[in-house]
A = this chain, B = another copy of it.
Amino acid sequence: MADLSFLGFLVLLLPLTLLLLLYLIVRPKPVRIPIKDRHVFITGGSSGIGLALAHQAAKEGARVSILARSGKKLEEAKQSIQLATGIEVATYSADVRDFDAVKTALDEAGPVDVLVVNQGVFVPGELEVQSLDEVRLMIDVNITGSFHMIKAALPLIKKRQNGGPASIALMSSQAGQVGIYGYTAYSASKFGLRGLAEALQQEVIADDIHVSLIFPPDTETPGLEEENKRRPRLTSIIAASSGAMKADEVAKKALDGIKSGSFIVPCNSEGFLLSIATAGLSPQRSVLMAFVEVVAAGLIRFVALCFQWNWYGSIEKWHARGKTGVNHADL
């Protein structure tokens, strides 16, 4: 009996020791990033998640600027926010692939407290059949465009009025946590944002700038409607492992994550599991999340392997069907 009590004592002591150690080593330290009365600059802000973000940030009292390519859609977005919240957002028309245009827009907008690099395009397709123009488009807009935005904005973030912690938030995707059938280019572009973000955080932490990566699942936006017309069937089968969300819901999770200075911001429960699975060498600013990551890591890796077992099984079934015209799974 004494042995069991001793074991019981150990079982309690281990997690407590782990929590204590994590409390001592977790870096960078946690931070809260207010947005009220601060300047929030959102790219891709005229539709989808960006527009929802603009709505919510404006409602919370931020001074909001949105950037997009189409002057017309910007005007519509501006009016819809005015109608819903009574607040006027500033609009800037530029293509993120054009660094000079982006620099001009930012210089006009002035010092920035929170930069949300949210623009993105996604065109699914097997690499074997996809046009390289589409591949280049995704890399240009999603990666190079993000580099342009951040490089142009850095001086303006450092010049922010009233100091305080600043944020650079990048809109990634669950496709930026796992690459699946049909997403070679899109996943390449979104995985790239993670490499950028991990390095960037080390470079800008001394300026009290905090980097966040948001990882939404399929989100009901005009972008998704377009994508669904082109999606290979196998992509839909595999992507169905994670549920879709509304733009408003994603925007709320994103803002919460930005305000708490979290490096990795998941948006739903599947995303939460994905974040633990792909924690990798990312910084973790919350002691509690760090604890969960360490304790659940092994189990979640096992779950991840189960997902691959399921996905590769689907792929095998699909091809077995295709080759003979018979769905072998139905036999």
Contact = CB atoms under 8 A, between A and B. Distances in A.
A127 B151 contact: yes
Contact of A132 (B143, B147, B177, B280): B147
A222 interface: no
Given A27-B313, A128-B203, A180-B202, A281 B278 contact: yes
Contacts of A307: 281
A26 B281 contact: no
Contacts of A306: 25
A186 B201 CA distance: 15
Judged by DSSP, the binding face of A is helix
A185 B177 contact: no
B184 A199 contact: yes
A224 interface: no
Interface in A135-162: 135-136, 139, 143-144, 147-148, 150-151, 154
Interface stretch (A49-57, A61-69, A75-83, A294-302): A294-302
Contacts of A185: 147, 196
Interface string A301-318: 110111111011101100
A313 B201 CA distance: 13
Interface stretch (A33-41, A113-121, A187-195, A246-254): A187-195
A205 B315 contact: yes
A: contact size bracket: 35 or more
A169 to B, nearest CB: 16
A306 B179 CA distance: 28
A179 B194 contact: yes
Contact of A199 (B4, B177, B179, B279): B179
Contact of A143 (B139, B193, B200, B304): B139
A206 interface: yes
Contacts of A199: 127, 179-184, 187-188
Given A128-B151, A191-B192, A315-B205, A177 B281 contact: yes
A43 to B, nearest CB: 17
